[in-house]
Amino acid sequence: MALVMNSENERVQHQRSFSGDLVGITAIMAIGAIGYFALPDNLALLTRMITIALLVLSLDLVTGYCGVATLGHAALFGSGAYAAGILSAHYGINDPLLMMLAGVAAGAIGGLLSGAIILRAHGLPQLVLSIALIHLFHEFANKASSWTGGSDGLSGIAPDPIFGLFEFDLYSQTAFFFGMALLLIVFVLLRWLVRSPFGMLCRGIRQDPLRIRAMGGSPKAAFIRMYVISGAVAGVGGALNAISTQVVGLDSLSFTQSAEALVMLVLGGTGSLFGALSGTVIFILFEDYVSAANPFHWLTMVGALLIAVVLFAPKGLFGTTAAFVSRRKEARA
């Protein structure tokens, strides 16, 4: 009887997970379609939104699911961007898929190095280490100007048409659809990852690391593995940014980029892939709208939005909405 009940519970959980994947994929495709038809002349903004969404998703893996405090995650994003750009500008390898693989590899290596350093501390020292790392990455890119272009940026990036058919045009149509495909693939893989035993282990370590150690687990090893995966996802975003804009600047490695990614994550809600995506969409659209409406005081309005969210929706906009819907369902039941 117990075996039957367990198998039934597993079947129900599997169905719910599959339904969640379908809902997520449908939502991403629907938002992408709305953006495509609503902003046909501003697809570059939507492509940038996708690249930043990949960065925020990667940040959610280490901050939302592992509880690692970091303000230096843009180092991994920039590593992927520079790797893809250098492959094209210096070696003439312009295949977008190979450039993407270079970005993934560079992001993963950057994640391994960053994780090995940051995870040696906890709390505020951990935060300080992450800030130090982003400045070191930034200064290294600035000094290695023969490879990165330094403060002038890395130019000369010329990606070939995808599969020899779809050229990257000035209207960013190819870049937008390429980015949407990457975002869908990454989202499905991350949904599987956070529901896997490894993902549950990372959540357990965040909640009670002492108990995990008592059970024979290694929190540091698990977190470093997650950091490598996170770096690979950030590298995808960085490589997409290099391919779509065909230039890589030091801003991709800036502290501001890291801070804004964390703000987007908090805005949507940590520990939820949907929260990371929704926070990115809301922040970038709000920032674009208010900066165009009021170029002199738009930062004030952005700050007011963030204060309101933190005070009245501490779980983020998506997290608070999901909790409210869940309570309503329980009340009806």
Q: Is a pLDDT exceeding 70 seen at residue 292?
A: yes
> Do 100 and 236 touch, CB atoms closer than 8 A?
yes
Span 210-237, pLDDT tens digits: 888 888 778 889 999 999 999 999 999 9
Helix-helix angle 255-268:316-332, to 10 degrees: 10
State the Cα–Cα distance between residues 176 and 51, nearest whole angstrom.
Answer: 10
Residue 3 has pLDDT above 50, yes or no: no
| Dihedral pair phi/psi, residue 158, rounded to 5° | -135, 80
Q: What is the pLDDT of residues 19-32, one digit of tens each?
A: 656 777 888 888 88
3-state SS, residue 68 = coil
Concatenate the DSSP letters of all residues of 17-58 into one string.
HHHHHHHHHHHHHHHHHHHHHH-TT-HHHHHHHHHHHHHHHH
What's the pLDDT score for residue 9? 44
In the prediction, which pLDDT does 8 show? 44
Mean pLDDT (the chain) is 88
Higher pLDDT, 10 or 112: 112
Instruction: Say what the pLDDT of residue 4 is.
Output: 36
Q: What is the pLDDT, as a whole number, of residue 165?
A: 85
CA–CA separation, 103 and 240 (whole Å): 8
pLDDT at 17: 55
Per-domain residue ranges of the chain: 43-247
Top-confidence residue, 8 or 220 = 220
pTM for this structure? Answer: 0.92
Of the chain, the percentage scoring pLDDT greater than 90 comes to 59
**Mean pLDDT value across residues 298-313:** 86
Answer whether residue 10 shows pLDDT above 80.
no
Lowest mean pLDDT among 15-19, 185-189, 236-240, 271-275: 15-19
CA terminus-to-terminus distance, the chain = 26
Please report the pLDDT score of residue 72 as a whole number.
Answer: 92
